[in-house]
Amino acid sequence: AQKVTQAQTEISVVEKEDVTLDCVYETRDTTYYLFWYKQPPSGELVFLIRRNSFDEQNEISGRYSWNFQKSTSSFNFTITASQVVDSAVYFCALSEGRGSTLGRLYFGRGTQLTVWP
Amino acid sequence: DVKVTQSSRYLVKRTGEKVFLECVQDMDHENMFWYRQDPGLGLRLIYFSYDVKMKEKGDIPEGYSVSREKKERFSLILESASTNQTSMYLCASISGKIRNQPQHFGDGTRLSIL
């Protein structure tokens, strides 16, 4: 069964602090994809990144970086020098790679990040 | 750019009413999904469809049904609305032919059942 765990329900930081959001996943598939989405207060889900199971390279995009480690089944997300606009709910998700259910996402429960000025 | 449009941003209905939530996508995607989002529970899959007239149950289908008569439209139906169906509903779509693409989400419908 597929499962995604985001153990941190809420995190509060002060602007310019670095913050890491944890994501641990479970799957028996050898091919799978991992995603992070951001949900600001307005409610829409904004896609941030995807990773496939064969690509363990870490990725950096501006102040955002992702650390994918298959050995620990983790896909953590770090925001460097956080800003108030980073305040949102962040979801980690896992997708299977084949079959008629292609693209179905299994979501974690989300982490509410609040960045204080 | 992919556009997923949900018919209402906010909706208020009464217990026992039949409620329709509509979702339309403009990218000819095969796969469409309906999720429900509740605080602390994340997004839970209600139903999905991978082709016209095809549907599969997700994790929490009880009390809901769906309709996919046209490829671009996926409707979620609450047959007899109850207060425990008050929630945020999100529709998403994805190509069924291209792997590892992210799902595209609508803006969500905040449904209140009184």
Give pLDDT tens digits for B55-86: 999 999 999 999 999 999 999 999 999 999 99
- Structure-block tokens of residue B63: 């009390």
* A1, pLDDT greater than 80: no
CA distance, residue B106 to nearest chain A CA (Å): 7
All residues of chain B having their beta carbon less than 8 Å from the beta carbon of residue A110 are 42
All residues of chain B having their beta carbon less than 8 Å from the beta carbon of residue A97 are 99-100
The DSSP call for residue A87 is -
- Structure-block tokens of residue A62: 């501006």
Taking CB atoms and an 8 Å limit, are A9 and B105 in contact across chains?
Answer: no
| Predicted confidence band of residue A101 (pLDDT cuts 50, 70, 90) | low
Residues of chain B with pLDDT under 50: none
C-beta of residue A46 within 8 angstroms of C-beta of residue A40:
yes
Identify which of B43, B95, B100 has the shortest CB distance to residue A91. B43
* A27, pLDDT greater than 70: yes
The torsion region of residue A48 among left (phi > 0), alpha (psi -120 to 50) and beta comes to: alpha
